[in-house]
Structure 1
């Protein structure tokens, strides 16, 4: 991300529960939600699928569109099919993420 100067501010959460709690805190403090969320499916405590359920069922008024990109090493067709069930997921990117992948995302953010 640094190589392509993807973002000025990057917040890293180590698991899905930290991410949910962090986003709720941002909303509570009336802060700015991230433009992009990179979501790993395989995380401890709360995995990516559980995070998506929590995020999609969030009762907070989220007027800002946050782009969510699943980042995973899974090529399981069931995972690829399951992603389609989530309206808020923009794309599924296979690990490792490359500068070219980030460039494509950055380009789509500015359009």
Structure 2
């Protein structure tokens, strides 16, 4: 079975966070999950893992609308990091706004755009495609 070692969920809404964590657990395909409440927390987590030579998440499920740093600011900042490991990023949002879809293209993430909630089948499909 395909598995990933570490997934990161960047989500500020407690209901969507709970549902996403349940989907991850029920998929049986993710060994460990880390949760960040906003883009700044996620960025700081990545920088900390890089500086301590810890493994980075294989997958980031990123909400767009969050306080402090939204998903877009996170994407801007992470693109400036030099990463030795490939991280697959999926935008998981309630926004079906065409402007957001177009903006996702800037980061080559238009195909990696999921309208909430993420399902077990969709998560499994993502992980199969990663491996």
Partner of 2:115: 94
The residue correspondences of 1:51-62 to structure 2 (distance < 5 A) are 51-58=74-81, 61-62=82-83
Among candidates 32, 42, 60, match of residue 37 of structure 1:
60
Query: 2-side partners of 1:95 and 1:26: how far apart?
Result: 28
Q: Tell me, which stretches of 5 or more residues in structure 2 are unaligned?
A: 1-23
Deviation at 1:6, TM superposition (A): 2.7
Partner of 2:29: 6
Matched, 1:23 2:62: no
Q: Secondary structure of the equivalent of 2:56?
A: coil
Query: 1-side partners of 2:116 and 2:29: how far apart?
Result: 17
Q: CA offsets per residue over residues 75-107 of structure 1, 9 Å max, x none?
A: 1000001000014x3600110110111011111
Deviation at 1:109, TM superposition (A): 1.6
Q: CA offsets per residue over residues 19-62 of structure 1, 9 Å max, x none?
A: 1111000000011111001100011110000000000122xx31
Query: 1-side partners of 2:77 and 2:31: how far apart?
Result: 27
Q: Tell me, which stretches of 5 or more residues in structure 1 are unaligned?
A: none
Among candidates 87, 104, 110, match of residue 125 of structure 2:
104
Q: Determine which structure has the larger strand proportion and give its number.
A: 2
4+ residue runs over 3 A deviation: none
Tell me the matched-pair count: 107
